RNA sequence: GGGCUCUUAGCUCAGUUGGUUAGAGCGCUACCUUGACAUGGUAGAGGUCACAGGUUCGAGUCCUGUAGGGCCCACCA
């Protein structure tokens, strides 16, 4: 057997086990009718992306769930894949083109798209490679891409079905236009930011009078597109103006003055200019009053030919400056005051959005939203934490139509075809389009130039990845999926839309029972949605590329190991709270890994010592020679198994992780392993030693199984060392199932009492600075119920005290005292009381009298405080009358026990004075 | 403006049906290289649980309000 290194070295084991699992197909899931599926679809990362801490958290959590379910007997299937990320990817490629001084128009559409595909071949799998380093157990054979053939078919199919149903329409609309990308953005892709601007007060002369109407605006340049002025119908200041005509300065266009309740009384001057082509609200207002729309910008937000010559070709901001000057020269600028307002910016390039009138495609969302709202409301889909359900419901009840066209080249081209006279339809190809349009088979036809919003493919993810629209068994078996783990900021972009799509398009597809689905239960895309925390840096800022505050997870893995990173992330991420992360925090996980490693090393050393090279089996618990410590750890273990399963069921991954930490570090390493040493190193018969080490290994084996979902690499490495696994893997081993027979509170109390004795002795040594090299005697009174048990279990206590012996490198020799008996040198002893049992440690010559007095006084004060609080309760008649009986009884019991402690402590203190 | 959320030890945070004098990790202090582990062990210091009311026998936990932080949605030209 090879020696294990003194510290755990992740680099030596991680890649080895990942290939082992992958080579043996252990990630792969298939339709298995006798097993319940557990399906997770990955939120597909962008092909432009590199692994961030957000991905680490998200994928660690998914892997924990998937590995846990896989070990628990489910057919666990985790479908991975990537997103083509239209705008982001096009951006990336255009950037590299720009380095060669080229623009996409230089190449033309076809060549450019070809280039993007090349780019995707080259760089698009980076994040997938990085994910493997994290240890994720994705079913890589099912990896999909939102633009691969199958998914493109799904996109087309969905578009055509919605189009034929009348749920997709084309319309002139004010969209959020990014002049940089020259494409429309959905409302959600616009970030609103506060900005310091000005409120310009411009005078509009009223025709046929000497009056002016003063209009306040933040964007004077849009006045070139004004087609009306508007006031509130109830505004007495301006009632007389309604129906009159104003003159647009500089342009001299005549503007009708209209009245509309949209105007907010009390804001600005009370008169608003109406620019239907360049403001979403004005657009609606303009439609209501049948105003003309004058578009003054081209697609790059430069002034077009519909404005006076001197402004044509100017950039919008340049035009603003010039216009302000000109208005001032004309005396039309009443005043300019500083003004803070919100402006919309492109979420990708931060360019200021221009509300722009253009032809776009939309999906009518209301008909789809109804069922999606219902399933969340009725709990068919559960959100964790559930407060997100409220956010979801609010958005869904106020849902607006979805602008799905994008004026870029990289993406799914809209499957709409036009005849030369403008008729159009949606079709799978040109021929089908001609048929649907009823034109000749050779008629000229052209496809829409636009592509679809990236989310138009990702909203189909839970079924398109499983082969839809082709009917197949895997789709029936793995959809609905089970748990979706995603960030709350894409609840509308993605989560809500997936619910709508799955419910709409899976209707009639056979379910697990082979019958066509009808019920909501079978139509939902997933049952649980876990919303991850947002990972922030230590200052609480969101991690972002531009801030450069996001540690590279690969560096972290390199430095600390994937398990350490996974553990730390899971440990730090409570359900529903943001996480402040820093690389150094991974020491927590690294130290834990090292602790586990050394526990394993210790057990293996002793196995070697006792068994030599003979192999052992850990198939079942070696139940011979069970002693108190064994019964105790078995109780603790089963408690841990129970709680672990419960916490994971409740999506409390951080709690499950904490539990692992406490069980392995404190219960197993601090106490059980230390107790086991008394047997490994003692003069027990060989068969007792054999049973002991085998049992310790068996417990450790169980602990590694519990650990595996969170720390797959180190658990597998150690698990393989514990016994000859004959080619098996921990990732396919059984997850521990609680055996309630082993949970034994009495034993835990007994051991707990002994621990208190040990703690008391340690406390004396620690506080009185008794050097470790100093041998001490320990006198223990046998007292009460536990006292009797102590006498019975004297051997265990000796063992426990032997533990002190090793820790302190000093002998601690227990002597049993009967009630009333006094230890020798009582006067010079330090003392403690644990659950009524007195301990004396004679410390003639070394003891500092003042120190011991202080120590006792401190302890008395603590216990006195406890007693006082109990007495306050018990002397309150209402408490005794109204509190539940068991609570009162517990208090009385406590009062009695602690009272005894207090008396003895006081007596001991008195002995000093 | 509407909604959500947070405020607990020096720092970062747990604490899900209200019931021991509130826990962890890091940091800090003291002691310890012992036959798994100094990425370790033992002991210790450190909190009027943001504030003010209320409900209750009992509140970190439930309710109301206040102050401060964060997020989301909608936006007034």
Nearest CA to the C1' of B40 belongs to which residue?
A: A595
Return the pLDDT at A133: 94
Nearest residue to nucleotide B19, by CA–C1' distance, is: A887
Listed in sequence order, the residues at least 6 apart from A821 whose beta carbon sits closer than 8 Å to its beta carbon are: A781
CA closest to B44 C1', residue: A767
Residue A260 tokens, joined: 């509309």
Confidence of residue A808 (pLDDT cuts 50, 70, 90): very low
* pLDDT, greater one: A732 or A879: A732
Comparing C-alpha atoms, which of A446, A445, A452 is closest to residue A408? A452
Q: Do A424 and A450 contact (CB within 8 A), yes or no? A: no
Closest CA to A71 of A23, A26, A138: A26
A788 has a pLDDT exceeding 70? no
CA quadruple A717, A723, A729, A731: dihedral sign: negative
Between CA A502 and CA A319 the distance in angstroms is: 48
Q: Are A644 and A659 in contact (CB under 8 A)?
A: yes
Closest nucleotide to A594's CA, by C1' atom? Answer: B39
Beta pairing, strands A416-419 & A402-403: unpaired
Q: How many helices (H) and strands (E) does chain A have?
A: 31, 29
Distance A6 CA to B36 C1' (A): 8
CA of A520 to C1' of B16 (A): 28
Nearest to A725 by CA among A616, A627, A808, A632: A616
pLDDT score for A810: 44
pTM across the whole model: 0.87
Per-residue confidence band for A414, with pLDDT thresholds at 50, 70 and 90: very high
Interacting residues of A493 by C-beta distance below 8 A, sequence separation 6+: A188, A455
Least Cα distance to A758 among A795, A805, A794 occurs for A805
Q: How confident is the model at residue A263 (pLDDT cuts 50, 70, 90)?
A: confident
CA A391 to C1' B73 (Å) is 9
For residue range A613-652, list pLDDT tens digits in order: 888 888 888 888 888 889 999 999 999 999 999 889 888 8
pLDDT 10s digits, A328-344: 998 889 889 888 777 88
CA of A596 to C1' of B28 (A): 27
CB A240 within 8 A of CB A229: no
Stretch A12-27: mean pLDDT: 95
3-state SS track over A818-873: CCCCCCCCHHHEEEEEECCEEEEEECCCCCCHHHHHHHHHHHHHHHHHHHHHHHHH
* Mean pLDDT (whole number) for A778-786: 69
Q: Greatest CA separation found in chain A? A: 118
**Contact in structure between A847 and A798 (CB atoms under 8 Å):** no
Which stretches does DSSP call E strand in A480-536?
Answer: 483-486, 528-531, 535-536
How much is the pLDDT for A161?
Answer: 95
Confidence category of residue A681, pLDDT binned at 50, 70, 90:
confident
Mean pLDDT (chain A) is: 86
> If you measure CA to C1', which residue is closest to nucleotide B75?
A342
Establish whether the linkage from the previous residue to A860 is cis, with ω within 30° of 0: no
Protein CA A392 to sugar C1' B11 (Å)? 35
Question: What is the phi/psi pair of residue A192, to 5°?
Answer: -95, 130
Predicted pLDDT at A270: 84
**Stronger pLDDT, A469 or A876, i.e. the higher one:** A469
* Protein residue at shortest CA distance from C1' of B35: A681
pLDDT over 50 at A273, yes or no: yes
pLDDT score at A49: 81
Protein-proximal nucleotides of chain B (any atom < 7 Å from a CB): 3-6, 12-16, 19-21, 24-26, 30-32, 34-45, 56-58, 70-77
| Protein-to-nucleotide distance from the CA of A176 to the C1' of B74, whole angstroms | 16
Over residues A480-514, the pLDDT tens digits come to: 999 999 988 888 889 999 999 999 999 988 988 88
Report the distance separating Cα A351 and Cα A87, nearest Å: 14
Q: Which of A37-46, A548-557, A579-588 has the highest mean pLDDT?
A: A37-46
What confidence score (pLDDT) does residue A313 get? 92
Strand pairing category for A228-231 and A254-259: parallel
Burial environment of residue A64 by CB neighbours within 10 A (0 to 12, 13 to 18, 19 or more): buried
* The pLDDT value given to residue A605: 92
pLDDT at A794: 63
Gap between the Cα atoms of A542 and A536, Å rounded: 5
B64 C1' – A364 CA distance, angstroms?
Answer: 43
pLDDT tens-digit profile of A511-564? 888 889 889 889 999 999 998 877 777 666 677 666 667 788 999 999 999 999
Strand partners, A198: A338
Lowest mean pLDDT among A156-170, A568-582, A796-810: A796-810
> What was the pLDDT predicted at A676?
85
Share of chain A above pLDDT 90, in %: 39
Confidence of residue A807 (pLDDT cuts 50, 70, 90): very low
Over residues A87-114, the mean pLDDT reads 85
Identify the residue whose Cα has the smallest distance to the C1' of B18: A883
Structure confidence at residue A470 as a pLDDT band (50, 70, 90): very high
């Amino acid at each position: 057997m090879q020696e294990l290194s003194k510290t755990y070295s992740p680099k030596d084991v991680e890649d080895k086990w990942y290939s082992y699992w992958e080579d043996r197909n252990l990630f792969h899931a298939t339709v298995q009718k006798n097993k319940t599926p557990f399906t997770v679809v990955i939120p597909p990362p962008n092909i432009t992306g590199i692994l961030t801490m957000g991905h680490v958290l998200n994928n660690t959590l998914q892997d924990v769930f998937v590995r846990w379910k896989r070990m628990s007997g489910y057919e666990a299937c985790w479908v991975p894949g990537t997103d083509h990320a239209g705008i982001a990817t096009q951006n990336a490629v255009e950037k590299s083109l720009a380095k060669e001084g080229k623009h996409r128009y230089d190449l033309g559409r076809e060549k450019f798209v070809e280039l993007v595909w090349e780019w995707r071949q080259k760089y698009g799998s980076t994040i997938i490679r990085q994910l493997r380093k994290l240890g994720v157990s994705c079913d890589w054979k099912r990896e999909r891409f939102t633009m691969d053939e199958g998914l493109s078919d799904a996109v087309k199919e969905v578009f055509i079905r919605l189009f034929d149903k009348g749920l997709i329409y084309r319309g002139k609309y004010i969209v959020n236009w990014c002049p940089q990308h020259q494409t429309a953005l959905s409302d959600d892709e616009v970030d609103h930011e506060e900005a310091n601007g000005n409120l310009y007060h411009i005078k509009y002369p009223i025709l046929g009078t000497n009056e002016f109407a003063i209009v306040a605006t933040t964007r004077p340049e849009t006045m070139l597109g004004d087609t009306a002025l508007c006031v509130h119908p109830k505004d007495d200041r301006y009632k007389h103006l309604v129906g009159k005509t104003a003159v647009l300065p500089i342009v001299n266009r005549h503007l009708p003055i209209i009245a509309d309740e949209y105007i907010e009384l009390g804001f600005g001057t009370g008169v608003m200019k109406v620019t239907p082509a360049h403001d979403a609200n004005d657009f609606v207002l303009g439609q209501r009053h049948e105003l003309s729309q004058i578009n003054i910008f081209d697609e790059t937000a430069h002034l077009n030919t519909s404005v006076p010559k001197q402004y044509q070709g100017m950039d919008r901001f340049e035009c603003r400056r010039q216009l302000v000057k000109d208005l001032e020269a004309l005396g039309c600028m009443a005043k300019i005051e500083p003004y803070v307002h919100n402006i919309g910016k492109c979420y990708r390039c931060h360019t200021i959005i221009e509300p722009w009138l253009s032809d776009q495609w939309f999906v009518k969302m209301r008909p789809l939203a109804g069922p999606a709202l219902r399933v969340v409301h009725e709990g068919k889909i559960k959100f964790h934490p559930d407060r997100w359900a409220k956010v979801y419901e609010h958005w869904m009840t106020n849902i607006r139509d979805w602008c799905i066209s994008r004026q870029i080249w990289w993406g799914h081209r809209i499957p709409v075809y036009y005849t030369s006279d403008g008729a159009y339809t949606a079709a799978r190809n040109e021929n089908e389009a001609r048929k649907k349009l009823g034109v000749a088979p050779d008629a000229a036809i052209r496809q829409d130039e636009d592509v679809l919003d990236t989310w138009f493919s990702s909203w189909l993810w839970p079924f398109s990845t499983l082969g839809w629209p082709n009917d197949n068994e895997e789709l029936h078996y793995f959809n609905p999926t089970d748990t979706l783990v995603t960030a709350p900021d894409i609840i509308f972009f993605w989560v809500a839309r997936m619910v709508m799509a799955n419910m709409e398009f899976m209707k009639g597809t056979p379910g697990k029972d082979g019958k066509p689905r009808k019920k909501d239960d079978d139509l939902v895309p997933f049952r649980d949605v876990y919303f991850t925390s947002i990972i922030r840096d230590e200052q609480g800022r969101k991690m972002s590329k531009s801030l450069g505050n996001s540690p590279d997870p690969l560096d972290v893995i390199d430095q600390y190991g994937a398990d350490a990173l996974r553990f730390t992330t899971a440990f730090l991420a409570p359900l529903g709270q943001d996480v402040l992360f820093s690389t150094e925090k991974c020491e927590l996980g690294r130290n834990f890994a090292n602790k586990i490693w050394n526990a394993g090393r210790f057990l293996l050393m002793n196995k070697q010592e006792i068994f030599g090279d003979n192999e052992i089996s850990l198939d079942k618990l070696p139940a011979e020679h069970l002693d108190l410590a064994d019964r105790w750890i078995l109780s603790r273990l089963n408690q841990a198994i129970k709680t672990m399963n419960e916490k994971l069921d409740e999506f409390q991954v951080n709690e499950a992780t904490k539990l692992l930490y406490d069980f392995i570090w404190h219960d197993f390493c601090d106490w059980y392993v230390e107790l086991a040493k008394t047997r490994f190193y003692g003069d027990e018969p060989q068969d007792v030693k054999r049973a002991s080490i085998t049992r310790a290994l068996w417990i450790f084996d169980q602990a590694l199984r519990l650990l595996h979902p969170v720390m797959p690499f180190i658990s597998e490495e150690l698990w393989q060392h514990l016994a000859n696994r004959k080619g098996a893997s921990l990732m396919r081993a059984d997850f521990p199932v609680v055996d309630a027979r082993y949970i034994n509170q009495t034993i835990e109390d007994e051991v707990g009492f002994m621990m208190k004795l040990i703690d008391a002795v340690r406390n004396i040594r620690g506080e009185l600075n008794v050097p470790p090299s100093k041998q001490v005697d320990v006198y223990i009174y046998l007292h009460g119920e536990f006292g009797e048990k102590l006498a019975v279990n004297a051997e265990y206590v000796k063992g426990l005290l032997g533990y002190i012996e090793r820790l302190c490198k000093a002998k601690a020799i227990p002597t049993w005292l009967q009630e009333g008996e006094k230890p020798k040198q009582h006067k010079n002893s330090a003392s403690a009381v644990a659950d009524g049992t007195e301990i004396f440690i004679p410390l003639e010559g070394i003891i500092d009298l003042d120190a011991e007095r202080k120590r006792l006084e401190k302890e008395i004060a603590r216990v006195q405080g406890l007693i006082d609080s109990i007495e306050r309760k018990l002397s309150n008649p209402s408490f005794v009358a109204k509190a539940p009986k068991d609570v009162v009884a517990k208090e009385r019991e406590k009062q009695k026990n602690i009272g005894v402690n207090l008396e003895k402590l006081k007596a001991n203190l008195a002995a000093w004075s």
